[in-house]
């Protein structure tokens, strides 16, 4: 009886903390923090989902392509149906902090290049994505897989700070699977180069050669380590 | 600096050769009698700007970092503007390329000297 009571108490305690964790981690919003004087990100959507940009100064906008704003700080984007979003264009917005990506199943363009994002990039299947660009940030790692983005024709991760060759190797390995997948009809440009980026090991080089020689992709990498 | 690395392999049928993505490229050689298929991988490692194209459209425009490997045509330029001028001279399609490395406004009204 006492043991059962303790067990229930522990379970309740854990669930309580899990719920708090979920509330903090996934509130359904896309969060982004800017440090520049102006901000002009935009999305494109299919259909008519409810859109709400909430800027750091408390003002809001309901358009997919909002008017430029001049405030600095933490902003959010809410879309009533994230599946309706086809384009995420957050390039060159002086964004910083960690980027929390989502599944975005209908996105064809995912642009977050030329910002100051840090930490990890979480890759999702993004099966409709044609252009994925995270170049020119300060990302230090990649998680997830690049095997499933079979419509992708541009894949830019260059000029970040991914310093583990194992991550470059995994990307090349994933992309070989991607290149050979049923349903792929176009070639792809891949770039993982940059002064703070690692090169591949010999295993990554083998897969790079498969991408170029077998599938006719164009690949830019740092020299083999 | 652009280096060529030749790779030879055997392809069993003409149909398979024609399916290879490198088949229509100018540097690719296929001998239907010997079934020998030869591709030339380009390795570009200079610090200048690299324009990769297939004669019809821009494949990539890359600021010289790392090494670019491709079977496509590749030309190096000292500056980005020179590369953009070449794109205009060759009348290469930039639609697919959009705005990632190449702002369309850069091409508008460009004076080619």
What is the value of ipTM here, to two decimals?
Answer: 0.86
Please give the DSSP secondary-structure letter assigned to residue A69: B
Q: How far apart are CA A218 and CA A222, in angstroms?
A: 14
A222–chain B Cβ distance below 8 A for any pair: yes
Question: What is this structure's pTM?
Answer: 0.87
Residue A147 lies in a domain: yes
Please report residues of A whose CB lies closer than 8 A to that of B20. Answer: 216
Q: Which of A37-46, B32-41, B89-98 has the highest mean predicted lDDT (pLDDT)? A: A37-46
A185 exposure class (CB count in 10 Å sphere: 0-12, 13-18, 19+): exposed
Cβ count within 10 A of residue A97: 16
Among candidates B41, B60, B100 on the partner chain, residue whose Cβ is nearest the Cβ of A212: B41
CATH code of A103's domain = 3.80.10
Q: Which domain holds residue A157?
A: 90-225
Q: Are A224 and A200 within 8 A, CB to CB?
A: yes
Closest Cα in chain A, distance from residue B113 (Å) = 30
Among candidates A111, A131, A219 on the partner chain, residue whose Cβ is nearest the Cβ of B69: A219
CA angle centred on A82, ends A78 and A84, rounded to 5°: 120
Cβ count within 10 A of residue A138: 14
Closest Cα in chain B, distance from residue A165 (Å) = 14
Please give the DSSP secondary-structure letter assigned to residue A90: -
Q: What is the largest CA-CA distance in chain B?
A: 51
Cβ count within 10 A of residue B99: 18
Cα dihedral sign, A32-A33-A35-A36: positive
pLDDT of residue B109: 55
B51–chain A Cβ distance below 8 A for any pair: no
Among candidates A133, A154, A212 on the partner chain, residue whose Cβ is nearest the Cβ of B71: A212
How would you write the pLDDT of chain A (225 residues) with one tens digit per residue? 445 444 444 444 444 444 444 444 678 999 999 999 899 999 999 999 999 999 999 999 999 999 999 999 999 999 999 999 999 999 999 999 999 999 999 999 999 999 999 999 999 999 999 999 999 999 999 999 999 999 999 999 999 999 999 999 999 999 999 999 999 999 999 999 999 999 999 999 999 999 999 999 999 999 999
Residue A138 lies in a domain: yes
Residue ranges per domain, chain B?
2-104
A192–chain B Cβ distance below 8 A for any pair: yes
Mutation to test the A interface, candidates B63, B64, B66, B71, most A Cβ within 10 Å? B66
Residue A123 lies in a domain: yes
A40–chain B Cβ distance below 8 A for any pair: no
Instruction: Provide the number of structural domains found in chain A.
Output: 1
Cβ contact B62–A191 (<8 Å):
yes
């Amino acid at each position: 009886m006492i043991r059962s009571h303790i067990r229930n108490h522990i379970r309740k305690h854990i669930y309580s903390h899990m719920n708090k964790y979920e509330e903090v981690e996934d509130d359904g919003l896309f969060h982004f923090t800017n440090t520049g004087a102006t901000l002009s990100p935009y999305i494109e959507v299919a259909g008519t989902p409810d859109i709400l940009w909430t800027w750091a100064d408390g003002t809001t906008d309901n358009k997919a392509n909002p008017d430029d704003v001049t405030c600095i700080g933490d902003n959010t984007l809410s879309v009533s149906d994230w599946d309706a979003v086809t384009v995420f264009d957050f390039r060159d917005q002086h964004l910083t902090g960690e980027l929390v990506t989502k599944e975005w199943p209908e996105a064809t363009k995912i642009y977050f290049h030329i910002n100051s994002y840090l930490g990890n990039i979480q890759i999702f299947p993004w099966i409709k994505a044609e252009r994925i660009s995270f170049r020119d940030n300060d990302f230090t790692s990649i998680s997830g897989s690049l095997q499933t983005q079979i419509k992708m024709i541009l894949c830019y991760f260059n000029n970040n700070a991914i310093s583990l060759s194992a991550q470059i190797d995994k990307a090349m390995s994933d992309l070989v699977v991607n290149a050979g997948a049923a349903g792929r009809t176009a070639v792809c440009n891949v770039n993982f180069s940059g002064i703070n980026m690692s090169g591949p090991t010999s295993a990554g080089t083998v897969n790079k050669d498969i991408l170029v020689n077998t599938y006719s992709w164009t690949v830019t990498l740092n020299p083999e380590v | 600096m652009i280096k060529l690395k030749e790779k030879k392999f055997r392809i069993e049928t003409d149909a398979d050769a024609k399916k290879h993505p490198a088949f229509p490229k100018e540097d690719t050689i296929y001998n239907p009698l010997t079934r020998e298929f030869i591709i030339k991988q380009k390795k570009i490692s200079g610090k200048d700007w690299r324009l990769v194209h297939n004669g019809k459209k821009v494949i990539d425009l890359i600021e010289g970092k790392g090494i670019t490997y491709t079977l496509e045509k590749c030309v190096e330029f000292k500056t980005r503007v020179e590369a953009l001028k070449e794109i205009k001279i060759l009348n290469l399609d930039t639609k697919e390329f959009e705005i990632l490395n190449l702002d369309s406004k850069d091409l508008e009204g460009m004076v080619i000297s």
